[in-house]
Structure 1
């Protein structure tokens, strides 16, 4: 294990450590956005859902182009633009005092994330040997959750559910992250530049779209993941709104921050044991099991109104989250053509359609039925999450058929 850690590139460590602090800054602010809009600005659940959803909506359409353009002009340029842009976005959150301002700033938040995330993952895949990729991708995922352990508690202590002060801290974190990336790219001057004679140079944006769209395994997995992300998105959008509105729950913001931290702690505890177990199967199989767990947890949130039930629901949800997300980067890397890796990671950003639909659907259901109809609301969101299962099963079947055909071709 020590040898594997030693083989990780310094730039990869920069991204992994930067992810810890970046997610700490994000999780001390963004998860409380819906509570802040309701409590401080008097927004309705539907208005709140629209503001929260726009980030993912912009991300859906920008992530593909971000991944594609990083194949063409290089990872470094895209990462610099997006990480420093992110710093200014969080300052914008702190200065906003109208709902429309939050709408605009959150749209820019989605744009920066859509550019930075697929590009940084593609860079990790570029500079990591095949035997270390599972480790590096899971270290990045663990880094996300290390940040989320601390972030929500800091956000609660800073009173973000009723003020915007922590957004300044998040902006400073991303600015410092950008400075460190500049230094690392100066040290490793050849990393992240445009590859010579890249296949992406020969493809138009529409051509790259056709390449990924004709990959049936990729398309099935992508559609299935949209529904997985739909279920995941309710945890940070519909659930906090429900907890703030429900007369059965006191101090909803406080308990939600504890639930976020519990979620991150459970991830850190179960991630590597689950990954070791999941690595024995097809990378799509953990996604299927994870979808089932997340669907069940959403039903628990709506059916039981005690703190202990919520905490049990978080544990179930977290196991499903780990199973869904720890293998996706490895899966996309396996499916992708090496010269179009950034494009594949970018197109996979379309799974954020789930994050667009979740707050809109949740806000609509809360507006129509009210927080008193929690069983009905969370049963609906659980069932819509489970709609991803048929597509994931098709993806696993098609991937298995491809592997059989490749093995047969090698023997011939």
Structure 2
């Protein structure tokens, strides 16, 4: 591994290390947003769910355009717009004192993420040799979880459930991240600009047709929508349930510990699990991860005690790692040459799951009542498992495509 680490581009290291601090800043505040809205602004579960969902809703419609436009105007311009935009958004969160203002700023938060995520992943793929991409994608994923280990604890210490000061800190972190990235791009002026090849300058409608006709990509995308739906309940339905439950006291503190346990578990199991998962087709870990997440959701609702919920977090985390550590490599493998940003952007449509999770969870909590947790979590576990048929079909399509490519290579060889 160490020789591979030396081959990683300095700009990739900047993005990976910046991801640690960026996610730390975000996880100090955003995971507690529904608790803050319910406890501080007296929002209903449905209102809190709508505010949380709007970020992902914007991401569904903007992520494709964010990835596409990075193929057209260059990666670095999109990165600068999104990062400095994030800094402004978090200051807006700090100043907001109405539910509708949180709705607006969380929508802008989703827009920034929809631009940054596919662009940064496409840039990492651009400047990394093919044999090192799995390592780089997993370093980025580990960086996310390093930030998430510290972020919730810092947020709890600063009283995130009652104070908006933490949003100012998040805004400052993103502003500094943007400045460092700006200086790094000045040292590597040949990276992140507009591609010169004519075939890469497809119109938006042409890019949509290319991805829309890719059967493997579409089935994988449909399956991961349901994977993300299950994953999204961890940061939306679960904290609302804990806040409203009579069994769990001091929900913000315990939920913060659960977030940190989730991130620590990722750091412990990620690389051993990835080594195991890399022996299989990239779709197989997604299938196993979906089963683990659905099972953990059942456990959350069936035994609403802290020790069982911590066990459920560990099972949930295993599923999370299986689902998400291989997806970047999978999309990079499926993507057509010159359209990485477009494919990564189109894959952002899986955020539809993050849109539906808080809406479904909020309406179930309000409609059935927090006392009927078994029924509530059984429903959301079942909807998560709806992704399995799509993933199985995607696996078959990818296997057929791989065999076809291998046959063509043998003929040309």
Report if TM-score (shorter chain) is over 0.5: yes
The answer as to 2:9 corresponding to 1:17 is no
What residue number does 1:345 align with?
344
Using the alignment, how far apart are the partners of 1:269 and 1:285 within structure 2? 21
Using the alignment, how far apart are the partners of 2:198 and 2:255 within structure 1? 46
The answer as to 2:373 corresponding to 1:374 is yes
Alignment of 1:126-205 (within 5 A): 126-201=126-201, 203-205=202-204
Deviation per CA, 1:49-99, whole angstroms, max 9, x where unpaired? Answer: 100000000011000000000000000100001100000000000000000
Deviation at 1:338, TM superposition (A): 2.1
What residue number does 1:277 align with?
276
The answer as to 2:304 corresponding to 1:299 is no
Using the alignment, how far apart are the partners of 2:23 and 2:349 within structure 1? 21
Secondary structure, in 3 states, of the residue corresponding to 1:235? Answer: coil
Using the alignment, how far apart are the partners of 1:334 and 1:406 within structure 2? 12
What residue number does 1:46 align with?
46
Using the alignment, how far apart are the partners of 1:345 and 1:406 within structure 2? 22
Contact conserved, 1:198 with 1:339, CA < 8 A, in 2?
no
Contact conserved, 1:72 with 1:198, CA < 8 A, in 2?
no
CA RMSD of aligned residues (A): 0.7
5+ unaligned residues in a row in structure 1: which ranges?
A: none
Using the alignment, how far apart are the partners of 1:37 and 1:318 within structure 2? 26
TM-score by length of 1: 0.99
Deviation at 1:405, TM superposition (A): 1.8
Deviation per CA, 1:130-158, whole angstroms, max 9, x where unpaired? Answer: 11100000000000000000000111111
Secondary structure, in 3 states, of the residue corresponding to 1:134? Answer: helix
Deviation at 1:390, TM superposition (A): 0.3
Secondary structure, in 3 states, of the residue corresponding to 1:97? Answer: coil
Deviation at 1:198, TM superposition (A): 4.4
TM-score by length of 2: 0.99
- Runs of 4+ aligned residues of structure 1 deviating over 3 Å after TM superposition are none
Alignment of 1:352-391 (within 5 A): 352-391=351-390
Deviation per CA, 1:97-139, whole angstroms, max 9, x where unpaired? Answer: 0000000000000000000110000000000001110000000
Using the alignment, how far apart are the partners of 1:89 and 1:411 within structure 2? 53
Using the alignment, how far apart are the partners of 2:272 and 2:237 within structure 1? 30
Deviation at 1:307, TM superposition (A): 1.0
Using the alignment, how far apart are the partners of 2:272 and 2:315 within structure 1? 16
Using the alignment, how far apart are the partners of 1:138 and 1:253 within structure 2? 29
What residue number does 1:93 align with?
93
Deviation at 1:19, TM superposition (A): 0.2
What residue number does 1:336 align with?
335
Deviation at 1:162, TM superposition (A): 1.4
5+ unaligned residues in a row in structure 2: which ranges?
A: none
Alignment of 1:65-76 (within 5 A): 65-76=65-76
Secondary structure, in 3 states, of the residue corresponding to 2:357? Answer: helix
